[in-house]
Amino acid sequence: MDIEISMKIKNYINGEYVNPISDNWIDNYNPSIGEVYGQLPDSNSQDVEIAYKAAEAAFRGWSETTLDERSKILSKIAKLIIAKLPELAMAEAKDNGKPVRVAKSIDIPRASANFQFFANAITQFASEAHESVGQNAINFTLRQPIGVVGCISPWNLPLYLFTWKIAPAIAAGNCVVAKPSEITPMTAYLLGEILTEAGLPKGVLNIIHGLGTTTGQAIVEHPNIKAISFTGGTKTGAHIAKVAAPMFKKLSLELGGKNPAIIFSDCDYNEMLQTTVRSSFANQGQICLCGSRIFVEASLYQKFKTDFIAAVSKLKVGSPFNNNTDIGALVSKTHLNKVKSYIDKAEQYGGNVIFGGNIVSVHDSEDGYYLEPTIIEVDDNSCILNQDEIFGPIVTIMSFNDENEVLAMANDVNYGLSATLWTNDLKRTMRVSKQLEVGIVWVNTWLLRDLRTPFGGVKSSGVGREGGFEALRFFTEPKNICIKYN
Ligand code: NDP
């Protein structure tokens, strides 16, 4: 697993690394130094068609393998990811700009856990039976794999989210045409080698690189790719839904978020403070689950503001390859410019930058895309800063007076992915959690994940749920079989 500076990433189709048919290539950037370090295929619909054909040919054999066999192969992939953790983590940091420390402790272990989890889950997956009492009939639900499915993932947690889709898809017996983000293709490319080594039959998983608007679009438009699991922006999700709807494709859409962190004065203060720094700025704030709108009860507000600024000022912005870096580079120049534009217009949008806000020049990496963690004070939840998903190291803070007020503000947004609630009052926990319009509520914690739980959002944050048996249900088609026995 050698990552050459000038290397060309290839598509992985039918178990082989291949060039794109057009021989067109896209530059791949290292955001920590702002330089091109390789190229990836600019695949088109012909490449997608070849991948589809390979997947279609593999489907029958793969769907008939025993659960034990599938489970063993998935486990092997999980183990190989761990065996190659240092190389994969370096590749992720270089491609994405995230601290290598984070890739080592979170991204790559989780990619492995995704395969291991579904290796186990598929052996426990069951469906219902219903006896039609008095009619001498028994119904049972047969859950069959769908066929060839498409998986499309974003750049923020590249291998982590790519495998979160692929693992349940293949565990359930489907064959896959998958596309990682063109901005972070490297670890998905390296996964091909692992799949081969693990003995995954050819054609079961095909990885195609290219632009969303061509490669991604070709996957969504393909008439015989019957389901699409997509994670990415809300605008792209809406477009995909529009393309897929007339073909009646099954869709799982995991989209953007603008998540509230609600802090009541009775919380465990130190734990809240430490976790809120993390929930605001982990992965440079580029996690759909980051708590980007912080609401603090008025009686605690001034203390929180002072302590939060002090804690955030300790975060070190720097090269992803330094072990003491907390905030690495943003993923691309375009994204840096987008995020910075919100800071530049903060005042116009009704905000007051109370910490950070500047581009950072990192020694020996002066052209990298670094930005200070930034805190903006606002006094109106309807302002753009509290309504747009900025997806960078920026949080807003504002105070609230009571539970009803903060609930109204938390819900007054188009998104509905997650919320974080800090309180020790059990009755309030239940009252507020029930009324929050989100798919996930974390109480006195953040991003504590149990892979068995349903994961996803409401409103503009998406449709459907991933995780646990929900993912296996998505990737199978239920068929009712009714047997009369008299
Ligand atoms: P995008 O929507 O831009 O892209 C996501 C993926 O879709 C990429 O692989 C992209 O390819 C591809 N794509 C783009 N256009 C099309 C198209 N027309 N047809 C098919 N595929 C297409 O999102 P980002 O990569 O910018 O990711 C950030 C977004 O993802 C944020 O909004 C974030 O909230 C969301 N997200 C949601 C999560 C959730 O679980 N709810 C988790 C993580 C992120 P390419 O990159 O090559 O353009």
Catalytic annotation, pick one of 92, 182, 254, 377: 254
Pocket test for ligand 1, best of 231, 387, 455 (most atoms within 8 A of CB): 231
Using only the alpha carbons of the chain, give its radius of gyration.
23
The pLDDT mean for the chain works out to: 97
User: 288 CA to middle of ligand 1, Å?
Assistant: 11
For ligand 1, pick from 29, 149, 181 the residue to mutate: most ligand atoms within 8 Å of CB: 181
Between the CA of 274 and the centroid of ligand 1 the distance, in Å, is: 30
Is 254 noted as a catalytic residue in this protein? yes
State yes or no: is 131 an active-site residue. Answer: no
pLDDT band at 291 (very low <50, low <70, confident <90, very high): very high
Bridge partner list, 418: 440
The rounded Å distance from CA 255 to ligand 1 centre is 8
Distance CA 379, CA 216 (A): 40
Q: Is 206 in the pocket of ligand 1 (CB under 6 A)?
A: no
136-151 average pLDDT score = 98
Q: Which of 151, 175, 267, 288 is catalytic?
A: 288
pLDDT of residue 5: 43
Region 235-252: mean pLDDT is 98
Rounded average pLDDT over 16-40: 98
Predicted pLDDT at 486: 80
Does residue 257 carry a pLDDT above 90? yes
DSSP 165-204: HHHHHHHTT-EEEEE--TTS-HHHHHHHHHHHHHTPPTTS
Please state, in angstroms and rounded to a whole number, the distance separating the CA atoms of residues 364 and 269.
39
Tens of pLDDT, residues 38-51: 999 999 999 999 99
pLDDT for residue 7: 83
Q: Is 232 in the pocket of ligand 1 (CB under 6 A)?
A: yes
What's the pLDDT tens digit per position in 357-415?
999 999 999 999 999 999 999 999 999 999 999 999 999 999 999 999 999 999 999 99
**With 0-12 CB in 10 A as exposed, 13-18 as middle and 19+ as buried, what is 480?**
exposed
**Above 80 in pLDDT, residue 282?**
yes
**Pocket of ligand 1 contains residue 152 by CB under 6 Å:** yes
Nearest to 177 by CA among 220, 143, 130: 220
What residues are paired with 359 via a beta bridge?
Answer: 371
Mean pLDDT in residue range 312-338: 98
